[in-house]
Structure 1
């Protein structure tokens, strides 16, 4: 009789652990797929901030208007970053949001500059730099 109870406890325990392990494995797979999809979609897995939110955080105009410059973004960043210094009573969370906003805007501004340079090159034609020996 005792061996029957022990066997039943062992079998039940194995079932419980087996189901828990299977469920944990399914969750790990789903989490891995989600993270891989996020990296492929946006380039930055950790930074899911969009351009409009970044402009609102730093209080600048969107770079598509062509009026935003890197210097203006850096000026706003430095001011807001210093104001939210945790040692001066600010918030680390807000500092990190400001940093992510600056990174996102810099990435967008680089892309706009690259497109402008490409457009200029297409309009003017390709002019290779030739160095003459003296």
Structure 2
């Protein structure tokens, strides 16, 4: 009887150890992907800081508001339309829309950073 209990304990320990190892491996891969997204390309330090401060990258903010060019009028127009469309549905979506507008406004109001970023990419 004790032999079966010992075998059961060993088998259970092996299952838990394998699951733990798999979880650690997935976490390492996710961490590496996040690091590549954050700074793997030719981003400047100021762009990485703005992304971290505002919580969104410029590309993500453009996707959320569906904006091609950075103009104050287009940003405000898209913001108002999306914000009002999600007024009664989702606070989360409204929050993302506000953060995207803040990121794009930051980019429009600080053109010297945008120019240095585009110069560093070429």
Relative to the length of structure 1, the TM-score reads 0.54
Contact 1:84 1:92 in 2 (8 A): no
Max radius of gyration: which structure?
Answer: 1
More RCO (CA 8 Å, sep 6+): 2
- Within 2, Cα distance between the matches of 1:26 and 1:73? 44
Which of 62, 65, 68 is the equivalent residue of 2:69?
Answer: 62
RMSD: 3.6
Relative to the length of structure 2, the TM-score reads 0.57
Q: How does 1:1-134 map to 2 (within 5 A)?
A: 2-41=1-40, 43=48, 44=51, 46-47=55-56, 50=59, 53=63, 56=66, 62-63=69-70, 68-69=71-72, 72=73, 75-76=76-77, 79-80=80-81, 83-84=84-85, 86=87, 89-110=88-109, 113-114=111-112
**Whose helix fraction is larger, Structure 1's or Structure 2's?**
2
